[in-house]
Amino acid sequence: MTAEKTATLEELKAALLESYREEFPNDEPTICAFAPGRVNLIGEHVDYNDGFVFPMAIPVGTMIVGKALNEPTTTKCYVRTLSKDVGEQKSIEIDLANELAPIKSPKWANYVLGVLAHFLERVKPSKKQPFRILIATSVPIGGGLSSSASVEVAMCTFLELLYGNSLSSNQQLSKVDKALLCCKAEQTYANVPCGIMDQYTSCLAKADHALLIDCRDNTSQYIPMINKNVCVLVTNSNVKHELGAGTYAERVHNCQVAANLLGHKKLREVTSLKELENARDKMSPTTYKRARHAITEIQRTEIAAEALSKNDYAEFGRLMYESHQSLRDDFEVSCEELDQLVELARSVDGVYGSRMTGGGFGGCTVTLVAKSSVGKCIETMKNGYKEKCQQFHPRNDSDDDDTQIQICFSYLSSSKFPLQI
């Protein structure tokens, strides 16, 4: 199996510029916006329960280049994606004179439309500015690394730069406002009732730090990630997930039902498992299990962030395994391939912990591993995955086993990457 090469930010930019110049000879883009993807270290499916999450940005993301169109009569914008994985239609036209409603197809365009619509509604510029943009991403689509949020946040950054000085101070967005706006775009245009984690991380993350986010009041704390002897390894099962497919919404609903039955606004307010136990006969076994995951995961995340800030990797790792088990058995959002990857990582000396990351139903695992064991861990996961996952239904279009797994990793002290360029 080969580790597929992920485009660097320079490569993304070069590809965008080349495409732009090819399509619009004698013209140059004037704006470049970037937003990173994220990996969630722990705290899964709890952002919409007002819980704690603990993600960090990763050096892959979405970049947009473009410019304002100033022909006096035009109200039209042009948007094209360079992404190969989004179906046939790669470009759309948006007429700012019309209502910016979500569209059936192409689906990717809704991330752009959603942000644009919410931005215009929030900022209310005196004149709507037409533009043209090209979009490219290095975040694997459907990999649980926040591909959609990175498009939304890059789009919002592009718009902020496009309107620039024409915005007064009360039209400008704080980073949290921006995250909320992008999150609303995802909920209303992509129809995913997501929490704030992905957009928040894309807006507020900084290099060499993880972010402990309290999703009840949208505040956060940076936890330094500077130990060069420890790595975060992100491994893609290449089983594609689609959160819009309904299973995500079902989990959100289950949790809300449990919170209502317990007399709370959100499951974050449940202070102990005992409270849930006492109400067990009021709810279905499924609702009970979903709530048990959310309540224990919120507790785990707080303890885990504390452990990491004290460099207690053994404790952090133990909580990662517990988190995975809870997501697998109680929340039922894992899949055989992710379970195998976690077990393979666990068999390697020097691995502290491993778990699925993101929405689930496919996508990636995240592993905390001593730097000296990274090579061994990658090898074990590659070889074992090939051997063990052949027994599962082939879920990818490709017949080539070599593409079943893609591995990228960043050291805790990841190299600096720009959040906006």
Give the residue numbers annotated as catalytic, written as ranges. 198
Out of 59, 195, 353, 362, the only residue in the binding site for ligand GAF (CB under 6 A) is: 195
| Angle subtended at Cα 182 by Cα 176 and Cα 185, rounded to the nearest 5 degrees | 145
The single residue listed with the structure tokens 């070599």 is 402
Query: How many other CB atoms are there within 10 angstroms of residue 185's CB atom?
Result: 29
Which is nearer to ligand GAF, 293 or 346 (by Cβ)?
Answer: 293
> Cβ distance 150 to 202 under 8 Å?
yes
Classify burial at 255, counting beta carbons within 10 Å of its beta carbon; exposed 0-12, middle 13-18, buried 19 or more: buried
Q: How far is the CB of 40 from ligand GAF (least distance, A)?
A: 6
Residue 44 interacts with ligand GAF (CB under 6 A)? Answer: yes
Residue 194 interacts with ligand GAF (CB under 6 A)? Answer: yes
Residue 45 interacts with ligand GAF (CB under 6 A)? Answer: yes
Out of 29, 47, 184, 267, the only residue in the binding site for ligand GAF (CB under 6 A) is: 47
Which is nearer to ligand GAF, 45 or 289 (by Cβ)?
Answer: 45
Which is nearer to ligand GAF, 31 or 46 (by Cβ)?
Answer: 46
242 backbone φψ class: left, alpha, beta (φ>0; ψ -120 to 50) = beta
- Region binding ligand GAF by CB under 6 A among candidate stretches 191-199, 256-264, 312-320, 398-406: 191-199
Residue 255 interacts with ligand GAF (CB under 6 A)? Answer: no
Q: How far is the CB of 42 from ligand GAF (least distance, A)?
A: 10
Out of 77, 151, 197, 369, the only residue in the binding site for ligand GAF (CB under 6 A) is: 197
Binding pattern to ligand GAF, positions 212-251, x when CB under 6 A? -------------------------------x--------
Binding pattern to ligand GAF, positions 119-158, x when CB under 6 A? ----------------------------------------
The contacts of residue 119 (CB under 8 Å, 6+ apart) are: 156, 159, 181
Residue 198 interacts with ligand GAF (CB under 6 A)? Answer: yes
Residue 184 interacts with ligand GAF (CB under 6 A)? Answer: no
Which is nearer to ligand GAF, 39 or 307 (by Cβ)?
Answer: 39
Here the contacts of 13-20 (C-beta below 8 Å, separation 24 or greater) are: 13/63, 13/65, 13/421, 15/82, 15/136, 16/63, 16/64, 16/65, 16/82, 16/134, 16/136, 17/65, 19/80, 19/82, 19/134, 19/136, 20/65, 20/134
Binding pattern to ligand GAF, positions 24-43, x when CB under 6 A? ----------------x---
Which is nearer to ligand GAF, 34 or 361 (by Cβ)?
Answer: 361
**Residue ranges in 258-317 that form contacts with ligand GAF under rule CB under 6 A:** none
Which is nearer to ligand GAF, 150 or 238 (by Cβ)?
Answer: 150
Q: How far is the CB of 5 from ligand GAF (least distance, A)?
A: 25
Identity of the residue numbered 159: L
Which is nearer to ligand GAF, 31 or 149 (by Cβ)?
Answer: 149
Q: How far is the CB of 311 from ligand GAF (least distance, A)?
A: 25
How many whole angstroms separate alpha carbon 342 and alpha carbon 355?
6
| Residues near ligand GAF (CB under 6 A), total | 12
Q: How far is the CB of 148 from ligand GAF (least distance, A)?
A: 7
Q: How far is the CB of 44 from ligand GAF (least distance, A)?
A: 4
**Residue ranges in 357-416 that form contacts with ligand GAF under rule CB under 6 A:** 358-359
Q: Torsion angle, CA of 50/53/58/62, rounded to 10 degrees?
A: -10
Query: Angle at which helices 109-123 and 147-163 pack, to 10 degrees?
Result: 40
Which stretches of the chain bind ligand GAF, using CB under 6 A? 40, 44-45, 47-48, 194-195, 197-198, 243, 358-359
